[in-house]
Amino acid sequence: MYYIQPLSQYNFDLKAKKLEGLARLAKLGLPTVSNLFVVSPKAYKVFYKTHKLGDDLKYELGKIFQSIRSQGESVTLRNAIYERNNPAVAFSVSNSPNLKTYQEFEKRIVAGYRKAMRTSFDPANLEFSYLIQSFYSSEKCGTLLTTSNRTQILLHAILGQHTNLLFRGDIEPDSYVIQKSTYKILDKHIAEKQYRFKKQRSGLTKVRVNKDEQYQPVLTDEQVVRIAKLAIRAEKTYGPQQIDWAILDSGKIIFQETHNLEKPNNIRFAEQGEIIYPSEVSGEVVNVHAIPDKGLETLKDKIVITDNLDIQFINKLLFVCHPKAVILTKGSLTSHAATILREAKMTTILIRGVNLPDQDKVKITKRGEIVHE
């Protein structure tokens, strides 16, 4: 086809973030929305010049539409638009879900092109892509940050289908903190649920949640772990991600979108530890597993990271090496090592599995965070 391609094979210059994220998921074979196709900006250019879709495009649209409908599914039309010379200026016109007739589908495509041409941007400079996909409905959805800090995953879950409600603060979500290295759920908060938002013909409707569902978690622990494991596959290839996920009525987990999790340089990146003895110190980190035979003085005034909670090691570290602070990467707050460090008033926090390179400069705050300097 000339105008339309499957998203997973779409090799254009993907500047539209929405398409880029979905293309990543499709290329990695992660479960996402089915039947993803892109109508390239070439189609928009034809429409801009002729004010018509053209027979070739109509033929391709008809073929894709029929192929999705033949699977018993209806069609959703989404779009991604940006200015050619300024990709940072990106916007979209309204989406069209659950289309069941080709006439309605074509009408919506034309309406979208026309709407974009009426915006304040120069219509000749717009790069307008449509995304065609299967319509789906889900009762549960949410977002996930693969790096809420370097060692943990943060997941939010709500009833309903619209993750944007989370960002608007309309609904308090269930929230989970998951340890990245083991997928152990470290903490969870189950929100009291008053409403869910349901998509109906009239639009988004607020529906009261049944009493027996009010205090029930949105997800089972197994679902939380499954979503987290899938998300880490995306992170391994593309770096830290913010992922919108959903669970279809069939029980299948899909990722609706993914974005790079931005970490601007001017934002200091903090990792939350558990406090053993609080105070604020700054310094250079050094990873130590055993006391070296020589050069004990090299640990003086350093922030020592260790997974060794053996008391002989801890004594030597404290009473002979005199570090500035200690970060334990293993164990618990009530361990003997933690007790000995606290008694000695040594600034100490516990962050399981934390991984910082030697010579990294960090600050430990009174609240038990590691802030990278």
Partner 1 sequence: MNKLIKLSDIAKASQSLVGNKAYRLSLLNQAGIKTSDFFVIPTSITNIDNAITQEINNYLAVNPDIHYAVRSSATCEDGSSASFAGQFTSYLSLTAEEVILAIKKVWESAQSETIKEYCSYHNIDLSVIKMAVIVQQMVSADKGGVVFTRDVFQDRNLIVIEAAKGLGEQVVSGVVDSDKYVLDKKQGKVLEGVLGFQKSILSKSEVRQIWELALRVEKLLGSPQDIEWAIQGKQLYILQTRPIT
Residues that bind partner 1 (CB under 8 A): 182, 184-188, 220-222, 274-276, 278, 309, 311-312, 315-316, 318-320, 328, 330-340, 342-344, 352
Considering the complex, what minimum distance in angstroms separates the CB of residue 249 from partner 1? 24
Q: Which is nearer to partner 1, 334 or 359 (CB)?
A: 334
- The residues near 267 (Cβ < 8 Å, ≥ 6 apart) are none
CB of 275 to partner 1, least distance (A): 5
Per-residue CA distances from 71 to 34, 52, 64, 67, 134 (Å): 11, 29, 11, 7, 10
Nearer to partner 1, 298 or 332 (CB): 332
Which CB, 124 or 311, lies closer to partner 1?
Answer: 311
Instruction: Specify the pairing of strand 37-39 against strand 4-6.
Output: antiparallel
CB of 291 to partner 1, least distance (A): 12
Q: Measuring CA to CA, which residue among 110, 35, 19, 100 is closest to residue 67? A: 35
Contacts of residue 324, Cβ cutoff 8 Å, sequence gap at least 6: 281, 283, 301, 302, 303, 347
Please give the structure tokens belonging to residue 217: 């978690």
Distance in Å, CB of 302 to partner 1, minimum: 19
Q: Which is nearer to partner 1, 126 or 247 (CB)?
A: 247
The DSSP secondary structure of 136-182, one letter per residue, reads --EEEEEEEETTSSSSEEEEEEEEBS-THHHHHT-SPPEEEEEETTT
Looking at the Cβ atoms of 79 and 223, the one nearer to partner 1 is: 223
Minimum CB separation from partner 1 for residue 84, in Å? 51
Query: Using the 8-state DSSP alphabet, how is residue 266 labeled?
Result: T
Residue 94 neighbours by CB distance under 10 Å: 12
Q: How far is the CB of 365 from partner 1 (least distance, A)?
A: 13
**Toward partner 1, which CB reaches closer, 5 or 339?**
339
